[in-house]
Every structure is written in structure tokens, then in C-alpha cells.
């Protein structure tokens, strides 16, 4: 933390006597801090729009407010340009292993189902659409323009993307979280919570399910059980479209990391993250070819 950040938080109008300002880990696109003000604790998220990732803070705010009203996310306490203040939850942040725990996984899928069914009814303004195929094409175009050292891999990825989009076919539209990393799921012992709505917006429900699986290394048996629970039908009905969306989700995470290698100023080893996701993508594409 810099003195500038501490002063900025200390001068926020929502606080009377902010103390114990400490950094929270996990943020890949913003700075997260915990603040005590009297007997209460809060989370302060600092971050501007990120054009290269399509992150628009007004969209994050609208979805955070709707998710709070629906009971899925912590309460929004204060907001101003570049700042979002949320209530602090005394809750466990999940790891990938926690997500794979069978009892937790059923609870997570149930929460996602309710988010998809209920969240849109709590929106009070328009929000973005997150169509992952357009997102991936935009990333590829920017990487080419920016002279990424990964540019040689892009034509093959785009050709694969066309095949994946055709395999997904027609979709239902829901409000998706679109970034189901384990660190965005919290457990207070009684209920689960979702945080960080930077990429939220209208999407196919398959993207959240695929992202949950690919980000947390679910086994194929767990994936099939997830589809059966969510759709209340045989997983075979959705398997090929789901497998295509899983590849698309992994491609998006890979392209996101390639882009972050160039543009991010955060102290994160994006090169290693790119390599990790490229390996996962290669494996998923091989599995998809067998569907």
C-alpha cells in the first residue's frame, strides 16, 4: 500500500474513523483492502475501468447492487469513481479443493442456479452482455495489435473458436457471474456468497458451469453430476455444447492472461498463469474432439 492509497481511503465520506487498513490478497485486476471503522469492518475495492479486459465499473456496481439485493453478495456501502466499498463478511474464501468437495459443490451449483434464475429481477438499470466468443476475438485482435509474443498462436485459436461457437448453438440468456474462480466464492458457515462482479452480464448458463469446472479442475464425473443437477435432466443432452463452452472459457482465461502480461501493473506472474491455462485448454480441446 502506498501513502496515496491510505490517504484516499481515510478521506472517503462513508468512514468516520478508518483504522487498521490492510491489504487483502487475491485481486488480479484491482486492489482490495480491509478497513475497520468503529466496530464494523469493510472491504474497499480500488480499480478504474480496464478497457483491454472490457471491465466497466458502472456495470460491476449495478450487478453488485442487484446481487446484494438478491442476497447473493455483500451489501454495497459506498461508491464513487474508482472506489467500491462493501460490507466485510466473516467468511472462508474457498480454494479449488474446497470447490471440489462434493458437499460444497452441490451447494455451489444450487447457488448458481438461483443466481441465474433470480438476479435479473433485482436489476434497476441495463448491464453488459458477456458473449465469450466476441470477448475472445477482441482479445486476439488487441494482442495482435499490441505485438504480443503469443501472436503466432492466435490464428489457430480463432479457427478453433469458430468450431466451438457452432457447437454451442442457440442459448438461453441469464445473468452470469462469468468469473467463477474459487476465490470469488465465500462460505460463512450458513450460506455461500459470490463476490467480484467485474465480468458479470448476460450470457449462456453454460459459461458459468464451464468456468466453475475449468477453474477448479473438476473431474468428468463431477461435471456430469453438475449438469444433471443444474438442468435436472441427463447430462448427455448438454454435454457437447458444455464441452465446447468449457474450451471457450479456458481460451478466454488464457487470452486474458496473455493480455495482462502486457498491460497489468500488478505484481502477478501472468506468464506462469498463461502457461497453466494453455495446458488446460490443450487438454480440453483434445477431449472436445472426442465428443
Q: 155-212: per-residue pLDDT in tens?
A: 999 999 999 999 999 999 999 999 999 999 999 999 999 999 999 999 999 999 999 9
232 and 123 in one domain?
yes
What is the count of structural domains for the chain? 2
124 and 267 in one domain?
yes
Q: State the average pLDDT for the chain.
A: 95
Q: Which residues pair with 22 in a beta bridge?
A: 34
How far is the C-alpha of 130 from the C-alpha of 244, rounded, in Å? 16
Q: Which residues pair with 32 in a beta bridge?
A: 24, 45
137 and 21 in one domain?
no
Cell of residue 122, nine digits: 433485482
34 and 176 in one domain?
no
67 and 120 in one domain?
no
Indicate the residue among 87, 107, 139 that finishes a domain.
Answer: 87
Q: Write down the residue that cell numbers 474432439 correspond to.
A: 289
Q: Write down the residue that cell numbers 485486476 correspond to.
A: 29
pLDDT score recorded for residue 61: 98
Indicate the residue among 64, 87, 110 that finishes a domain.
Answer: 87
Q: Which residues pair with 44 in a beta bridge?
A: 33, 85
Whether the pTM exceeds 0.75: the reply is yes
pLDDT score recorded for residue 1: 59
How far is the C-alpha of 175 from the C-alpha of 178, rounded, in Å? 9
Indicate the residue among 72, 87, 102 that finishes a domain.
Answer: 87
- Helix/strand/coil percent split, the chain, to 5: 55, 15, 30
How far is the C-alpha of 128 from the C-alpha of 203, rounded, in Å? 9
208 and 270 in one domain?
yes
104 and 81 in one domain?
no
102 and 149 in one domain?
yes
Structural domain span for residue 115: 92-288
Residue 281 belongs to a domain with what CATH number?
Answer: 3.90.1200.10
Q: What is the mean pLDDT of residues 19-43?
A: 87
Q: What is the pLDDT of residues 160-171, one digit of tens each?
A: 999 999 999 999
223 and 127 in one domain?
yes
Residue 33 belongs to a domain with what CATH number?
Answer: 3.30.200.20
39 and 170 in one domain?
no
140 and 71 in one domain?
no
163 and 113 in one domain?
yes
Q: What is the pLDDT of residues 260-272, one digit of tens each?
A: 999 988 788 999 9
Amino acid at each position: 500500500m502506498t501513502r496515496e492509497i491510505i490517504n484516499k481511503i481515510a478521506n472517503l465520506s462513508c468512514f468516520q474513523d478508518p483504522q487498521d487498513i490492510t491489504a487483502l490478497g487475491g485481486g488480479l485486476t484491482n486492489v482490495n483492502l480491509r478497513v475497520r471503522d468503529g466496530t464494523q469492518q469493510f472491504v474497499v475495492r480500488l480499480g478504474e475501468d480496464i478497457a483491454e479486459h472490457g471491465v466497466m465499473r458502472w456495470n460491476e456496481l449495478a450487478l453488485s447492487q442487484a446481487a446484494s439485493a438478491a442476497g447473493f453478495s455483500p451489501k454495497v456501502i459506498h461508491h464513487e469513481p474508482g472506489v467500491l466499498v462493501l460490507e466485510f463478511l466473516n467468511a472462508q474464501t474457498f480454494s479449488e479443493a474446497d470447490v471440489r468437495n462434493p458437499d460444497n459443490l452441490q451447494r455451489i451449483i444450487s447457488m448458481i442456479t438461483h443466481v441465474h434464475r433470480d438476479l435479473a429481477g433485482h436489476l434497476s438499470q441495463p448491464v453488459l452482455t458477456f458473449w465469450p466468443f466476441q470477448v475472445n476475438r477482441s482479445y486476439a485482435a488487441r494482442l495482435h495489435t499490441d505485438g504480443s509474443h503469443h501472436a503466432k498462436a492466435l490464428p489457430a485459436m480463432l479457427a478453433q473458436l469458430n468450431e466451438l461457437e457452432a457447437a454451442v448453438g442457440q442459448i438461453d440468456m441469464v445473468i452470469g457471474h462469468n468469473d467463477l474462480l474459487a476465490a470469488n466464492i465465500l462460505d460463512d458457515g450458513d450460506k455461500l456468497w459470490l463476490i467480484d462482479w467485474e465480468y458479470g452480464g448476460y450470457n449462456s448458463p453454460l459459461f458459468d458451469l464451464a468456468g466453475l469446472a475449468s477453474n477448479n479442475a473438476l473431474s468428468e464425473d463431477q461435471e456430469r453430476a453438475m449438469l444433471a443437477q443444474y438442468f435436472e435432466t441427463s447430462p448427455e443432452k448438454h454435454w457437447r455444447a458444455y464441452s465446447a463452452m468449457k474450451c471457450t472459457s479456458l481460451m478466454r482465461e488464457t487470452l486474458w492472461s496473455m493480455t495482462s502480461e502486457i498491460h497489468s501493473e500488478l505484481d502477478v506472474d501472468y506468464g506462469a498463469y498463461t502457461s497453466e491455462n494453455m495446458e488446460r485448454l490443450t487438454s480440453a480441446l483434445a477431449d472436445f474432439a472426442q465428443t
